[in-house]
Amino acid sequence: MSHTAHIRSHRKPRRSATTNIAVRAGVAGGVLSMAAAGAASANAAETTQTLQLPTLTADLANQVAQSAAATQQAAANYELQAERDTAAANAAKQAKADLAEAKKKAEARKKAEAARKAAAERAASRSAERTTLAATTSTLSTSSSTATGSAAAIVNFLKAQVGKAYVSGATGSSAYDCSGLVQTTFKQIGISLPRVSQDQSTAGTPVSLSNLQPGDILYWGSAGSAYHVAVYVGDGMFVGAQNPSTGVVERPLSYDPPTGAVRVL
């Protein structure tokens, strides 16, 4: 006998072929069962998801529609506000323009009223002057106004020029302007006068229109800025170079009342 015969063998006992087949069949059956269970679970999950999908899609569509409606309403509100802002700006602009136009019209009316008032005052003043001058002319016509000496020479020269032409800048002998006639007339008796009417209106001593004497220089406009001159010849008459239409004429003082007079004799 061997010395190891009493020691049990450590080898596992061999399984029979029948046992191995049974084990394998059980394992395969378990795997198949698990696979079937997994498939069943997957099918159940897929079925559940498929059933819920229409509900989720309808909710999403509803939300999208609500969002679109809200966006459209917001856009409409913005557009309405923009229109209101534009209308307010246009109204403010128009109100400003209307105010400026009203001020302009008011200023124009004010100026027109001032001009009418000034014209009325001038007309009243002119009427008063004509009335005074008419009375003065009447007095002078009935009083003795016979020129003597140098005054007579002036009157005679002036009356000899009546009918001659009016030419601007002319000083004789066939044509004159107003100041040219006055200057040339006084030159006949050795008196030198300035050339233009503005200076001639201040060349002598101022005299009242109610105390005129033959040879006095008459002027129209203001002293120092007169626009026309002539010479008083007595009996309420004057001789002057009036304009290109009339030439040198003899006229009554009432024909064109002068503003003032100066005396150089």
Q: What is the reported pLDDT for 124?
A: 74
175-194 as b/e, with b when 16 or more CB fall inside 10 Å? bbbbbbbbbbbbeebebebe
Segment holding 237, helix H or strand E: strand 237-243
- Beta carbons of 261 and 219 less than 8 angstroms apart: yes
Q: What is the reported pLDDT for 194?
A: 97
Minimal CA–CA distance to 165: which of 247, 60, 79?
247
Report the pLDDT averaged over residues 117-145.
61
Distances (CA, A) of 225 to 174, 202, 212, 217, 229: 27, 9, 21, 14, 11
What percentage of the chain exceeds 70 in pLDDT?
Answer: 71
Minimal CA–CA distance to 196: which of 225, 175, 222?
225
Question: Which of 27-31, 66-70, 100-104, 204-208 is predicted with the least confidence, judged by mean pLDDT?
Answer: 27-31
- Inform me whether the pLDDT recorded for 116 exceeds 60: yes
The more confident residue out of 143 and 136 is 136
CA dist 25 and 27 (Å) reads: 5
Q: Is the pTM of this model over 0.85?
A: no
Half-sphere exposure of 182 (CA within 13 A, CB side): 28
Give the model confidence (pLDDT) of 62-89 as tens digits: 888 888 888 888 888 888 898 888 888 8
Instruction: Locate 248 and state its tokens.
Output: 């040198």
* pLDDT class of 107 with cuts at 50, 70, 90: confident
CA dist 63 and 56 (Å) reads: 11
Amino acid at 203: A
Q: What is the reported pLDDT for 137?
A: 54
Q: What is the reported pLDDT for 121?
A: 79
Q: Could you tell me the domains of the chain?
A: 120-263 (3.90.1720.10)
Q: What is the reported pLDDT for 127?
A: 64
- Inform me whether the pLDDT recorded for 259 exceeds 90: yes
- Beta carbons of 34 and 26 less than 8 angstroms apart: no
